[in-house]
Amino acid sequence: MSGKLKVVGVVGARPNFMKIAPLASELEKHPGDFEFVLVHTGQHYDPLMNDIFFSQLGIRKPDIHLGVGSASHAEQTAKIMLGFEKVALELAPHLVVVVGDVNSTVASALVAAKLGITLAHVEAGLRSRDRRMPEEINRIVTDALSDILFTPTPLADENLLAEGVERSKISLAGNIMIDTLIRFLEFARKRPVVSSLGLEPAGYGLITLHRPANVDEPEVLSGIVEAFLRIAAELPLVFPIHPRTVKTLKASGLYAPLASAPGMRLIEPLGYLDFLALMKSAKMVITDSGGIQEETTYLRIPCLTLRENTERPETISQGTNLLVGRDRDKIVAEALRIIAGEAKEGGELKFWDGKVASRIVAELSERKDMIMTPAEQRLAPRPQP
């Protein structure tokens, strides 16, 4: 296709925002080649889960907002599909770009694929091989439907090849979230959040927890809370809490004892810069997030991941990450080792270098000829698997 490529980028939930930000600004640097339209599904809507990221990361206001909000997986996915189908038909883009692995990712990928619009997935090829995680289903489906798969690591390429994805569709671009981290690290350093919370650099641990497998069952959650309380007796812990986790902590009567425990600071979800500032100066991070495993590896901060598996194994083999599952004693033992100075050191990962968005945009320019116009998309026979 010749002329300007109309690209629709879709975001919905907090971890999408730091992935679209560098791509949006890179595409906007080439107005003669690309027209970029940003669609927000509305999966996350609280100001602290949403608006603050747009303002801090300098992402422009979404051109279209679907206002979907929270619901069961089926309902949320279906609502996004209904809303995005109308938008995609109206906008008639050449390309839809989806990022990450949230419900907004898979829902918009399904719509694009069924309308025959060329689909690119940024952060393709991650696999935890645990289909109990909704994100794993989202990754598998999105990758199976995508025409261009931008991967963060060579292992992600291997995962896709093993599933039969053609090599020509895969492009090893690197970790796009690290583009954002590198760009904003200096701004984060200037944030006074560590001292405002009364903490000392390297004198506290930082916690995040929101995965359904950890927070939805009160029994599991209470074991994890007990581990936090034991660690907090040795090292102050700061815990910005996701709304899902607040709900279950309150419903199971765990919120009050946690909030009043000595050494424990429960706070509202933080914006990007304050969270980065806290992560950068922490003694350790305890998390069940996907992205934080990568960010701590880049920052060389020890990370304990409260999961049995990870779709980001390079953070273990080459980084500072360690899987500790949900076993209370194991969590405490590994935290105490870090406090005692026995932390993993980690190393550098290839292409986690701040240049991922520019590699992606260069690749899109190269592949431009293969991307069909909306009229061609409608007439083209759908390729058989």
Residue corresponding to tokens 């880049």: 298
According to the binding rule CB under 6 A, does residue 44 interact with ligand UD1? yes
According to the binding rule CB under 6 A, does residue 19 interact with ligand UD1? no
Tokens found for residue 16: 């999408």
Tokens found for residue 280: 């950068």
Least gap, CB of 247 to ligand UD1 (angstroms): 6
Binding test (CB under 6 A) with ligand UD1, winner from 210, 307, 328, 367: 210
Binding test (CB under 6 A) with ligand UD1, winner from 11, 97, 102, 109: 102
Residue corresponding to tokens 């009050």: 256
According to the binding rule CB under 6 A, does residue 18 interact with ligand UD1? no
The whole-angstrom separation of Cα 162 and Cα 296 is 29
Nearer to ligand UD1 by Cβ, of 102 and 299: the residue is 102
The whole-angstrom separation of Cα 42 and Cα 76 is 10
The whole-angstrom separation of Cα 298 and Cα 182 is 9
In Å, the largest CA–CA distance within the chain is 66
The whole-angstrom separation of Cα 236 and Cα 267 is 13
Binding string to ligand UD1 for residues 57 to 76, with x set by CB under 6 A, is what?
-------------x------
According to the binding rule CB under 6 A, does residue 326 interact with ligand UD1? no
According to the binding rule CB under 6 A, does residue 134 interact with ligand UD1? yes
Binding string to ligand UD1 for residues 219 to 248, with x set by CB under 6 A, is what?
-----------------------xxx----
DSSP string of 335-351, one letter each residue: HHHHHTT--------TT
Nearer to ligand UD1 by Cβ, of 134 and 218: the residue is 134
According to the binding rule CB under 6 A, does residue 139 interact with ligand UD1? no
Sign of the torsion formed by the C-alpha atoms of 118, 123, 125 and 126:
negative
Tokens found for residue 224: 């994890």
Q: Determine whether 210 is an active site residue.
A: yes
Least gap, CB of 288 to ligand UD1 (angstroms): 9
Least gap, CB of 46 to ligand UD1 (angstroms): 3
Stretch that binds ligand UD1, among 39-47, 108-116, 145-153, 368-376 (CB under 6 A): 39-47
According to the binding rule CB under 6 A, does residue 45 interact with ligand UD1? yes
Binding string to ligand UD1 for residues 112 to 131, with x set by CB under 6 A, is what?
--------------------
Binding test (CB under 6 A) with ligand UD1, winner from 6, 7, 9, 15: 15
Tell which positions 241-280 bind ligand UD1, by CB under 6 A: 242-244
Least gap, CB of 134 to ligand UD1 (angstroms): 4
According to the binding rule CB under 6 A, does residue 103 interact with ligand UD1? yes
Query: How many CB atoms neighbour CB 366 within 10 A?
Result: 10
Binding test (CB under 6 A) with ligand UD1, winner from 35, 135, 294, 311: 135
Give the binding-site size for ligand UD1 (rule: CB under 6 A).
17
The whole-angstrom separation of Cα 124 and Cα 307 is 21
The whole-angstrom separation of Cα 172 and Cα 249 is 40
3-state secondary structure of 370: helix
Beta bridge partners of 8: 37, 96
Stretch that binds ligand UD1, among 13-21, 84-92, 113-121, 322-330 (CB under 6 A): 13-21
Tokens found for residue 361: 């945009």
3-state secondary structure of 208: coil
Stretch that binds ligand UD1, among 32-40, 45-53, 294-302, 354-362 (CB under 6 A): 45-53
In sequence order, which ranges of the chain are alpha helices (DSSP H)? 14-28, 51-57, 73-91, 103-114, 134-145, 154-162, 176-189, 193-196, 212-215, 218-232, 243-251, 255-260, 272-280, 291-299, 314-317, 328-339, 356-366, 374-379
The whole-angstrom separation of Cα 68 and Cα 102 is 14
According to the binding rule CB under 6 A, does residue 343 interact with ligand UD1? no
Q: Which of 44, 94, 121, 210 is catalytic?
A: 210
The two counts, helices (H) then strands (E), for the chain are 18, 13
Nearer to ligand UD1 by Cβ, of 248 and 320: the residue is 248
Least gap, CB of 365 to ligand UD1 (angstroms): 31
Residues that bind ligand UD1 (CB under 6 A): 13-15, 43-46, 49, 70, 102-103, 134-135, 210, 242-244
* Enzyme catalytic residues: 210
